[in-house]
Amino acid sequence: MKGKVFKTVVRPAMSFGLETVALKKRQEAELEVAELKMLRFSLGVTKMDRIRNEDIKGTTHQALGVRYGEMFYCKLVKRSEEEVDMDKVTAAMVLTSLSTSPLVRSPPVKVCEGLSGSWKDNGSAGPFTPSSNSSSGGYWSWSAPSDQSNPSTPSPPLSADSFKPFRVPSLGGVGPGPAGPEDPSIDEQDGSSLLFDEPIPRKRKNSMKVMFKCLWKNCGKVLSTAAGIQRHIRTIHLGRNCDSDCSDGEEDFYYTEIKLNTDSVADGLSSLSPVSPSIISPPPPPPSPLPSLSQLSDSHRPPRASDTKESHAGGTTLLSRSAPSALYLIHTDHAYQATAPVSIPSSSSNSTGSASTSFTPTNSSSFSISWQSPPVTFTGNTQVSPSKSQGFGEQRSQTIAVLSSPPRATTALSRKVRGEGKKCRKVYGMENRDMWCTACRWKKACQRFTD
DNA sequence: GCTGCCGGGGG
DNA sequence: CCCCCGGCAGC
């Protein structure tokens, strides 16, 4: 267990195995847990930036990746390599428990030792119950404030979900050895290789395709590779322009893995009916609907994918030829998601007031249209470099997207229709006002739980 | 009445 | 900009 592993895992911009976590010294386990908590916490409850800046600041860097049913909770916190001292076992433990505990509340994961109060105990007792700081109990359960129905609670798709058993790759092998070879082959563009040893589409099953869907509010971007989605998030939501390693060290990615079989997708295309549960393999837990999923899915209908870099070399083929209908899915990589008119403030850094358009021009030549944004949006400035190398399908698909998009926003022109979904206030309650999205705090249209 | 959020205002 | 709030309007 040397920094080496860590490096391998982290450096590639934020790729790390689902179940891989780079841990640090044991005495820091405390921190670790705290951060994991935070991770989940932040998923739906808080503004990432805030967390990152206020809570994580100061902690050493590290990478965390958690797979929770269908969801990926990832966080990358760079950390000076010298200090890195992996303790994958611990990591595995943490993660395992994490991934196992259903809705958080069941088996209060008990990790290592301490960690009692390390977690930011901003009085409000936030969503976490520090479990009475049980000295060593280290229980850190996530009892969402409105657990009852908190849409933001990343209620894992049920522990039951006979998903792939939680694999602890490096655990078995233990030591630096295993991690290294982890995925030598998968190395692709900008080193953003994905160690997501899981279901990367590279081996697309007959009609099953694994995609990664961005969980940021207002964004339903779906890409076919983890790297792609990460990049997307980084660029669009985190506001980092440079796509390589400009990361200031901390990055948060939320995205979920979705499996869609090309067929259903095709359907979706034609019917365009909202709600695409079919795509998400395990039916979301009825009681507490996955915030992200449900919410996102209904607002962003057509599951589309982008990304071509499956491997620049033969990648294109890989994807494009998947199936006729796949065409629909194909989009360019780094296709930047045009978000709804509302833009996420925090990451606006790069939006450079692209004037009317909602999608960010960014350097990348491609773009993607959000079927959710007002039809007009994309018109002139579409930087679709016609010279786009891979001309096939692509343009076409885009067109399709556009055509099929307009759900006509003719509805509420004047006053935004009252959002039906739960909003921050309802979800977090007045007590936790500080957890609301800024918009909500300012009594503006909620940005977190858009409808 | 509660709640989302627009418009406006203060720093 | 960030932050706050009066007040309207849908529920």
> What are the tens digits of pLDDT across the range A293-324?
333 333 333 333 333 333 333 333 333 333 33
| Nearest-5° Cα angle at A164, A163 to A169 | 150
Q: Report residue A426's pLDDT band, with 50, 70 and 90 as the boundaries.
A: confident
**Is the pLDDT reported for residue A266 higher than 80?**
no
**Strand C atom within 7 Å of A11 CB:** no
Which pLDDT does position A216 carry in this prediction? 67
Residue nearest to nucleotide C7 (CA to C1'): A443
- Can you give the distance from the CA of residue A344 to the C1' of nucleotide C8 in angstroms? 25
Q: Which of residues 412-431 of A touch strand B (CB under 7 A)?
A: 415-416, 418-419, 422-423, 425-426
Higher pLDDT, A227 or A367: A227
Higher pLDDT, A68 or A106: A68
Which pLDDT does position A429 carry in this prediction? 79
Alpha-carbon distance of A144 to A126, in angstroms, equals 8
**Strand B atom within 7 Å of A451 CB:** yes
**Strand C atom within 7 Å of A203 CB:** no
Q: Which nucleotides of strand B lie within 7 A of protein CB?
A: 3-8
Across residues A435-450, what is the average pLDDT?
82
**Strand C atom within 7 Å of A430 CB:** no
Which pLDDT does position A287 carry in this prediction? 35
**Which residue type is seen at A279?**
I
Q: Report residue A208's pLDDT band, with 50, 70 and 90 as the boundaries.
A: low
Which pLDDT does position A131 carry in this prediction? 32
Using the CA of A348, give the nucleotide whose C1' is nearest: C1
Of the candidates A333, A305, A316, the one whose C-alpha atom is nearest the C-alpha of residue A392 is A316
**Strand B atom within 7 Å of A58 CB:** no
**Strand C atom within 7 Å of A442 CB:** yes
**Strand B atom within 7 Å of A208 CB:** no
- Can you give the distance from the CA of residue A443 to the C1' of nucleotide B8 in angstroms? 12
**Strand C atom within 7 Å of A441 CB:** yes
- Can you give the distance from the CA of residue A150 to the C1' of nucleotide B10 in angstroms? 34
**Is the pLDDT reported for residue A130 higher than 70?**
no
Q: Which nucleotides of strand C lie within 7 A of protein CB?
A: 2-7, 9-11
Tokens of A328: 């629909």
Q: Report residue A150's pLDDT band, with 50, 70 and 90 as the boundaries.
A: very low
Which pLDDT does position A182 carry in this prediction? 36
Using the CA of A419, give the nucleotide whose C1' is nearest: B4
Of the candidates A156, A130, A133, the one whose C-alpha atom is nearest the C-alpha of residue A143 is A130
pLDDT (tens digit per residue) in A22-70? 333 222 333 333 333 333 333 332 223 223 333 333 333 343 444 444 3
